[in-house]
Amino acid sequence: MAQQRIVFVHGAGRFGAAAWPGQHALARSYDCLFLRRAGYGLNVPPAPTDHAADTAAILQALGQGGHVVAHAEGAVSAMMAAVSDPARVHSLLLCEPAVFSLTRDLPATAARRALLDPLFRAAAGLTDEEYGREHARLVFSAESAPDPGNDPRAAARQRLQAPPWDAPLDIVPGVPTLVLTGEWEPLYEEVAAFLASTGAEHRPVGGNHRPQDTPAGREAIAEFIARTAAAPAAAGCA
């Protein structure tokens, strides 16, 4: 029997397989593809947000179907892929998803919009270094420093990204979904609570903005995929 596919979609700071060190072992049991979103790569120049290109890349990588695991901004295109073709997305696993357009008017998201909208408007007039410093100052605390990642041009890429609360998102119909949060920022707990109200599971596992790196996060990802991977087979035997 062919292995089921898992498509991994990174956020900012790290890309490709380097964004998922705790999930490499899943390749023993699944066909794992670690995507690079549009405008990411060591030899790729920074580019503006392209949700349509990222969504198309996810659907192409899924082939006949599989599971999608996404982090932060990568969750936007992951959800868009699931809305576009839910039959091909067997499950969604979202780590600290930045799907703020779904919660834009809720308190924590509205506060984040008020904090960062001036920076997004000023981005064109700032250098990459100026933007990176200001973004880190506004978003991260001393207790949760930004992930240095594997991208030497992370600030340049971040400066070109569109406000996440403007992404064209809808609720995903009928796709099993698990949301992991790092228990450090009310914004992501607010998003998780909203998604839970639509039928998703929510597990707070620690790890700040990278819950997938914690032992509990790694276990939750492996368990959820195993459970949802078994569901189609069980249904076929019924």
* Domains within the chain, CATH numbers bracketed: 5-237 (3.40.50.1820)
Name every residue whose Cβ is closer than 8 Å to that of residue 129 and which is 6 or more positions away in sequence.
155
**From CA 8, how far away is CA 212, in angstroms rounded?**
12
Using alpha carbons only, give the angle 138, 144, 146 rounded to the nearest 5 degrees: 65
**If DSSP codes are grouped into helix, strand and coil, which group holds residue 3?**
coil
Q: In terms of Cα–Cα distance, which of 224, 179, 187, 226 is closest to 205?
A: 179
Query: Residue for token digits 């839910």?
Result: 86
Question: How many other CB atoms are found less than 10 A from the CB of residue 24?
Answer: 12
- The pLDDT tens digits of the residues spanning 123-148 come to 999 999 999 889 888 887 544 556 65
Q: In terms of Cα–Cα distance, which of 19, 176, 11, 15 is closest to 97?
A: 11
**From CA 72, how far away is CA 79, in angstroms rounded?**
12
The CA–CA distances, whole Å, from 55 to 23, 28, 62, 69, 190 equal 22, 26, 11, 13, 24
Given this model, what pLDDT does residue 233 score?
Answer: 43
**From CA 159, how far away is CA 211, in angstroms rounded?**
24
Which two three-digit tokens encode residue 113? Answer: 């919009």
Given this model, what pLDDT does residue 157 score?
Answer: 87
Question: Low-confidence residues of the chain, pLDDT below 70?
Answer: 1, 141-150, 232-238
59, 3, 75, 107 alpha-carbon torsion, rounded to 10°: 130
Q: In a 10 Å sphere around its CB, with 0-12 CB exposed, 13-18 middle and 19+ buried, how is residue 198 labelled?
A: exposed
Q: What is the pTM of this model?
A: 0.91
CA atoms within 13 A on the CB side of 4: 20
Given this model, what pLDDT does residue 11 score?
Answer: 92
List, edge to edge, every strand of the sheet that includes 31-34.
31-34, 5-9, 66-71, 89-95, 177-181, 201-204
Given this model, what pLDDT does residue 144 score?
Answer: 57
Given this model, what pLDDT does residue 197 score?
Answer: 96
136 phi and psi, to 5 degrees? Answer: -65, -40
